Amino acid sequence: MNAQDIRNKYLEFFAAHGHRVIPRAPLVLQNDPTTLFTGSGMQQLMPYLLGETHPQGVRLVDSQPSFRAQDIEEVGDNRHTTFFEMLGNWSLGDYFKAEQLPWMFEFMIDVVGLDINKFYVTCFIGDEANGIPKDTDSGEIWKKLYASKSVEAGEVEVGSEADGYQVGTPAGKRIFYYDASKNWWCRGGKIADMPVGEPGGPDSEMFYRFDDRPHTEAEKKQYGELCHPNCDCGQFMEIGNNVFMEYVRREAGFEKLPAQNVDQGAGLERIAAAALDDPDVFKISLLWPIVEKLQQISGKSYESHTNSMRVIGDHLRGATFLAVDGVVPSNKEQGYVMRRLLRRAIRFAFDLGVEQNFLEQVVPVIADLYQADYPEIAENRDTIIQTLVKEEKAFRQTLRKGVKEEEKLKLLDGAELFKLYDTYGFPVELSVEEGFKLGIPVAENWREEFDAKMKEQRERSQTAAKGVFKGGLGGQTEQHKKYHTATHLMYQSLRTVLGDHVIQHGSNITEERLRFDFDHPEKMTPEQIKQVEDMVNEQIDADLKVSFAEYPTKVAREEMGALGAFGDRYGDTVKVYKMIADGADKPFSFEICGGPHVDHTGQLAQPAAGTDKLKRFKILKEESSSAGIRRIKAVLQ
């Protein structure tokens, strides 16, 4: 069964068990300042896991394309990718462990056909300090499931990951109990750091074992004496995780939630690798055709250029989906990450000897792999290819500038090589080779200095990323609600002043300001900015009533004219917010959105504490975000 089959069978399997198939979220969640990208399937569902009612019901399933920028430097081994798909199913206060674990067992073993003898699971060992018991319920369910296939499934208490290297994987043991560092889920990651009011719970992970050889001496030094399910040596691969969200932290400790939720996420690429019984995820049907194309156009083999082909395949797949969801290469935030992906891919193409017309040959292969299951790729195919090819051409011009800069140098040391890498995207080996051609001496210790500069950059990137993703829940404070509402008013005002070609390309809302990206071919004039400001303030003064209703998606968009954001996909039903004056026949704003909002637009003018001065909507900056995309930053002051 190939990866495409596994995705479709998963959706069919859970639909047959009463789940509604919901559309994927875009890789850039609209109006969510907590994260740059959608990094997991649960991200868009966090409000519903915390108690909101989902319009599709209490049983949901999807396949969610996800992106994790923090993994860029890790790509090159056999399992790390920045872009991946999460197969997710959820119970919002409906079924629990007794249904979830048998369903996942049936899907993995009977539907996908994984070897039961290579299938292992982990459970939560308990936390005595916080009064949370060992998850024996999950352990007993797993034991019965293994017995149904006549497989011995003994239990072993491990504890921490470090303990695992002493315990190993004893014969006949299939169910491993780990502590909260491995088998507890909460948004902060650690049970000790959970704030009051935060939900969480034990989880039960599923692993596939590719081989059972002893650790080599090198692996013993790097990992530990014995291999176990959470070892990173590559013998085991996690393929899915069943989270049982059943606790909430209170001042006095942990207590059970009134409604217990299930949040399951399984990696499509990893399941597909397990189905092949090959730990190299780049051999699966969603990645191997890209590798084959790279072999064809370069004349090089995967075996001799494994790392380069893995990086290119992963990065171009991620960049393609970012382009589908409206991201364009730039020097800021999501656009910067997209640019970095493309430039890294192009740099690694140099290793293959491919120096021109690279993306226009490879990106169509990626589009072919996904367009049957993601129609938006087929619909935007030409735009996607043009966006990526345009960036390649611009980058090659930058490379030429870099060569001219290198010609001016008297010595290539680590600092200069890093500058060429960081500013012009030069692969360090290319810079050294070019230096030899130009007769520029290369410092003997260049590698150490270059690596030190790279380490500093990674540390800066990691520091900047900390705290960005806390689970996908956007701001819920009163200020967030005000700026969220103001964004709706501004969107409609922009369309009124500039024209109906204005389409939202993304937004970011904090407690201090709103930011909004939109289609427009030129800089706004001061007169146009003033018109938009005045129009928004008029609607605030009119104290429009803000309300929402749910409609069939086709009716809302095609018949009622509800606005939506570029790149967003919707289910059968959508929530539409209306902002209308008393007695008016037509709303000023009518837009598909998930909230949160104020009840009346007049609330946006409420004075700050200690003053009687009403707040006004003010555009602070209007600038280019990327080609054809403008960006506005605005405040209520």
Q: Are residues 568 and 437 in the same domain?
A: no
Q: Are residues 428 and 315 in the same domain?
A: no
pLDDT in tens, 99-126: 999 999 999 999 999 999 999 999 999 9
| Residue 417 predicted with pLDDT over 70 | yes
Q: Burial, 361: exposed, middle or buried (Cβ in 10 Å; 0-12, 13-18, 19+)?
A: middle
The percent of residues in the chain predicted with pLDDT above 70, rounded, is: 95
Enumerate residues 6+ apart whose C-beta is below 8 A from 147.
Answer: 153
pLDDT in tens, 471-515: 333 455 788 889 989 999 999 999 999 999 998 887 888 888 999
pLDDT in tens, 354-406: 888 899 999 999 999 999 999 889 988 998 999 999 999 888 887 778 888 88
Task: Please report the pLDDT score of residue 460 as a whole number.
Answer: 64
Q: Are residues 138 and 240 in the same domain?
A: yes
355: in domain: yes
| Residue 535 predicted with pLDDT over 80 | yes
Tell me the angle at which helices 414-424 and 446-465 cross, rounded to the nearest 10 degrees.
40
Q: Are residues 124 and 160 in the same domain?
A: yes
Domain boundary among 282, 311, 344: 282
Please give the Cα distance from 289 to 79 (Å, whole number): 17
Q: Are residues 88 and 202 in the same domain?
A: yes
Task: Please report the pLDDT score of residue 348 as a whole number.
Answer: 87
In this structure, how many other beta carbons lie within 10 angstroms of the beta carbon of residue 409?
A: 17
Q: Are residues 296 and 434 in the same domain?
A: no
Q: Burial, 291: exposed, middle or buried (Cβ in 10 Å; 0-12, 13-18, 19+)?
A: buried
Q: Are residues 278 and 352 in the same domain?
A: no
Does residue 596 have a cis peptide bond before it, meaning omega lies within 30 degrees of 0? yes
Query: Which of 279-283, 409-413, 477-481 is predicted least confidently?
Result: 477-481
Angle at 388 between CA 386 and CA 393, to 5 degrees: 90
Grade residue 179 by pLDDT with cuts at 50, 70 and 90. very high
Q: What is the CATH number of the domain that holds 206?
A: 3.30.930.10
Residue with tokens 């990450």: 337
Strand order in the sheet with 589-592: 545-552, 573-580, 589-592
Q: Are residues 622 and 521 in the same domain?
A: yes
Q: What's the Cα-to-Cα distance from 356 to each of 233, 350, 393, rounded to whole Å?
A: 37, 9, 9
| Residue 234 predicted with pLDDT over 80 | yes
Task: Please report the pLDDT score of residue 276 as a whole number.
Answer: 97
Q: Mean of the per-residue pLDDT values for the chain? A: 89
In this prediction, residues 76-98 reach a mean pLDDT of 93
Number of domains in the chain: 4
Domain of residue 109, residue span: 3-282
381: in domain: no
Please give the Cα distance from 176 to 524 (Å, whole number): 61
235-249, 438-452, 600-614 — most confident range = 235-249
386: in domain: no
Please give the Cα distance from 356 to 348 (Å, whole number): 13
Q: Are residues 111 and 203 in the same domain?
A: yes
384: in domain: no
Task: Please report the pLDDT score of residue 74 as a whole number.
Answer: 77
The percent of residues in the chain predicted with pLDDT above 90, rounded, is: 62
Task: Please report the pLDDT score of residue 296 as a whole number.
Answer: 96
Domain boundary among 250, 282, 314: 282
Task: Please report the pLDDT score of residue 119 as a whole number.
Answer: 98
307: in domain: yes
Task: Please report the pLDDT score of residue 34 as a whole number.
Answer: 63
189-198, 274-283, 340-349, 350-359 — most confident range = 274-283
332: in domain: yes
Q: What is the 8-class DSSP label of residue 168?
A: -
Residue with tokens 């909230």: 595
Question: What is the pTM (predicted TM-score) of this model?
Answer: 0.74
pLDDT in tens, 284-330: 999 999 999 999 999 999 999 999 999 999 999 999 999 998 888 88
Domain boundary among 411, 437, 470: 470
396: in domain: no
Q: Are residues 22 and 140 in the same domain?
A: yes
Q: Are residues 108 and 165 in the same domain?
A: yes
120-134, 394-408, 464-478, 601-615 — most confident range = 120-134
Q: Are residues 33 and 46 in the same domain?
A: yes
387: in domain: no
In this prediction, residues 210-238 reach a mean pLDDT of 95
